[in-house]
Amino acid sequence: MRWCAATSRTGVRAICWEGSSMALPPAEKHQAVDGNRDDTIYDENSHDENSHDENSHDENSRDENIVWHDHPVARRDRERLHRHQGAVIWFTGLSGSGKSTLAGQLEQRLHQLGVSTYLLDGDNVRHGLCRDLGFSDADRRENIRRVGEVASLMVDAGLVVLTAFISPHRAERQLVRESLPEGKFIEVFVDTPLVVCEARDPKGLYKKARAGTLTNFTGIDAVYEPPHTPELRLEGEQLVTNLTDQLLDLLHSRAIIKV
């Protein structure tokens, strides 16, 4: 299997894919200012002494064939059309904390205001984009990497993207942040105590985890790393309407939306 990807601050640049997917190691942080992009190429197998393909080129020749194409319509043009900025609102928290409920409520309010949105839900992406992944640490990292790349493309399209994922590791959330332009990643920590999440248990997952029939479950036998400095911390036991108002206030204060 071979991945070859060019990445920058604004997301995926180009990808060549042979075989099934797997996680890419963290890429360097790249700058992109007014279309002057400092991109790089990452080839997973360039460091693998055991990999071999008689039809493959060396790393330099492969790099020469992968370029980023600037198109006449840029993100700022699409944002002007939408009449708001593109951004990712990244909800993180334990299962049962209320992430999906809040994301859904916020999207509904934004839609009523005429804001162009899309909601990426943890369960939904595993029906398609990430259907081949399990719940090991490596698969969780790859799950978040893929979602981050999709969210980055949607921000480039000028959308307000809402994501509802446990996303338990700080490092993976940071990588998503670094893949986006400054100010486009808004981390929202839905801080709901484990005992409350477990009492809610909307999918019965905590019960299975306690019984030992579900392993690698965050908060029980897998770690959750809460954000140190999220853009917004919400107390998940409050009324959803109150929490949604706090989110809208934040988007207004950052000039993401003006309506």
Quote the tokens at residue 137: 């640490």
Other C-beta atoms within 10 Å of 16: how many?
A: 13
Q: Which one, of 16, 22, 28, lies nearest residue 175 by Cα?
A: 28
Q: Which one, of 232, 225, 245, lies nearest residue 89 by Cα?
A: 232
Tallying the residues shown for the chain, one arrives at 259
Residues 190/231, Cβ–Cβ less than 8 Å: no
Side-chain half-sphere of 57: how many Cα atoms within 13 Å?
Answer: 9
Q: Would you name the residues annotated as active-site residues?
A: 167
Side-chain half-sphere of 33: how many Cα atoms within 13 Å?
Answer: 1
